[in-house]
Structure 1
Amino acid sequence: MKLTVIAFTCLTLLSIVLISQPVFAGKAGVGVLNVSPEYRATRIIQSQDIIKVYLVISDYNSWRDIYRVDLLLKNKDVVMAQFRFKQYENTISYDEIDLFEETKGNGYLRPESCSVSRSSSKETVDDRCLLHVTFAFDPIPYCTKMEVIVYDRGGLFATTSIDYPAEGSTRNEKVIVPFWTGSPVEVSPDLINVIAISVAFTTTAVLVVKRREVL
């Protein structure tokens, strides 16, 4: 009798625990426990004056579970620029705002050329899970890699690193890389002109002095 009561109690407790587990499927959820998002595809297209990064992100709780996507542009471990896509204002809202913003940088992001699209078909599970996000921005000098971080409503995230397309990137007159640090530093364009004039003046003065010594 005692064994029967114990077994019944254990089964009851187990049922309560399973029922109380949160399901973060949302309004369009597939109906599974919360899982982290993942990357399906990444494509980078670079022209002379713009770079576009196409991301295909999947979440088996449906694309509605994806809250935010961050794109970080780095030189080694230094973040040169950071772009962000927010599908919602916060993790409890279901009103899509589709906001693209630059949280760090010098106006590289081109929000008017950024875009997002969702799976329209609902015939398969995959059709309800894909989110297509496109970041568009000006070439960023001295960057060596990109890092993408995707967050879902439940706090889970996925990250991946991509080589930055350095070929064809234009130089920025406001950025220099000192040889003794190897890291980019922002300077005023006027400072570069002053240095150039000073070097030219010093070189001219040295040549004049040497000419006088020869004479």
Structure 2
Amino acid sequence: MVPINTAHRNPAHTRLLDALAAEDSSTRLKAALAAGTRPDPGFADALVARCAVEPDFFVRDMLTWALTRLPAELTVPGLCAELRSERAQARSQALHTLSKIGDGSAWPAITRSLLRDADDEVARSAWRAAVVLVPAGEREALAAELAAQFGRGDRAVRLSLSRALVALGDVIEPSLRKGFESGDPVVRAHARATERLLRDPDAAFEPDVDEANRIVALGPERAGGAAC
């Protein structure tokens, strides 16, 4: 966890920091709102640290907003340090916040291990951050890395991966073609669903993936017979 800087703390700082850790979520939400409404560099470490442990989604979102109100040179180093945390929420929320800040200096911190994190929420946050921060010259390599995970997780995870790939644009086409040629029907279906989203963002996502899951469950011969 990022250490909280206690230097130059005045009574107002102390009250706000205490409120960020209050039992009542509405108190914490108001404190995060106050921190963003009156940005103070002295709160940067405390806001980053609170992101790692805050249980309420709305408070976490407000903490992220408060961090975006501070200079990136103050927040990005601490957020990047959180990406090495053993706490999944610390990694996930730091990635989410980095995606909102959009400072390209954070790109080197988006490692392969984060893009393939065992925790689905961390991985999803890493995908979203990566497509925001990736330099133009590395977009195709990122597409290949993301596409290597076709077939991962449940529908929500797969849709997140597809949306991240689609956000990269036409550079994903070589990775899609590789997915089409996979021996795994779930991978092929996920690649096809992603291609449809690339061509038409309003296209349905589920059918091919559901059909592939049915093929895996029944076996190709039985699935084919059932369709006749």
Relative to its length, the structure with more helix (as a share) is: 2
Of structures 1 and 2, the one scoring higher in RCO (CA 8 A, sep 6+) is 1
Relative to its length, the structure with more strand (as a share) is: 1
Could you state the TM-score of these two structures normalised by the residue count of structure 2? Answer: 0.23
Larger radius of gyration: 1
